[in-house]
Amino acid sequence: MRAMLRLLLFAFIGVIIGHLILLVLSLRESWVERTFIFFPDQKLEGTPRQAGLDFREVYFDSADGCRLHGWYVPAGEGAPVLLWMHGNGGNISYEIGGLALLRQAGLASFIFDYRGYGLSTGQPSEAGVYRDARAAYEYLRNELGAPPERIVFFGRSLGGAVAADLALRVPARAIILDGAFTSVGDMANHHYRWLPGKGRFAHKFDTAGRLARISIPKLIIHGEQDRVVPFTMGKRLYEAAVPPKEFYPIDGAGHEDTMPVGGDGYVRRVREFIRHAQP
C-alpha cells in the first residue's frame, strides 16, 4: 500500500514538474515563435512566371535593417493593388496560384516575405512582421507609385493580423482578410487546451481588437470547413469589425483552399467589393 502511495506521489510530482517546465517554456518568446506561430520555409518553390504572370522581383529594407524580398505582379494602369500578407507557414511561392486567380480580377499584387521567410533575412517576431509590412507599404507607395486609394490590404491567416495592424497606421482603400484568426490566445485555447500559461504569450496578434478600430471597408472571407482557424472565428471577426463590412463564407472550403473552391465566385466577390469600397 505504501509503495502504491509513493508511486502515486511521484507521478503527481512528475506531472507538476512537467507543467512547470511547459509554463516556463511557453513564456519564452523564441520557443513560442518556433513552436506555435512561425513556420518559415526558405526555399522558393517557383515564381509567378510559372503561372504565366509578368512580375518584378524586388528587394527592400525593413526599418531595423532586415533585407526583404517580394514580387510585384502588375495589372492595367490605375488598377487596384493588393498588398499581400501571407500566413505563418511557407513563403510567397506558396501563393502563386492565388496571385494568378486574382490577376484574373484585374488586380495587381505586391507580395513579400516576412523576415526569415523565403529570401528575406532575419528572424520573425510579431513586432518584426509589423515592421516588414510597413516597409512593404512604403515601397509600394514610393517606389512602385501606388497611391493609398489604389492600395488594398490582403491578409491570409496570420497575415490578417498583420494587415489589420497596418490598417491602423497608414491609409488604404480597403482591407480583405481570408481565413484570419481573432488572436493567438484564442488559437492556443482552441488547439492547445492542455498548455499552461497559454494566455501569457508575448505575441498577441489581436486581429479582432484591431478590426474594432479600423474605419476603411472590410471584407472577411472564411471557409466553412476550416479546421485550422475555425469558421466561428471568422464570424467573430465580422462581429467585432465596425462598418462598413462584409462577410463572405465559402461552402466546402477549408483553410488553404478558399480561392480554388470559391473559383470565379471568389474573384467576382473580391472585385465587386474593391470596386464599391470608398475609404
- Which residues are catalytic, by number? 157, 226, 255
Cell of 26: 511557453
Residue 186: what residue type? D
- Would you mind telling me the total number of residues written for the chain in this entry? 279
Of 207, 177, 174, 210, the residue nearest 81 (C-alpha): 174
- Kindly report the three-state secondary structure assignment for every residue of 88-124: CEECHHHHHHHHHHHHCCCCEEEEECCCCCCCCCCCC
CB atoms within 10 A of CB 74: 16
First to last CA, the chain: 74
- At 239, the amino acid letter reads E
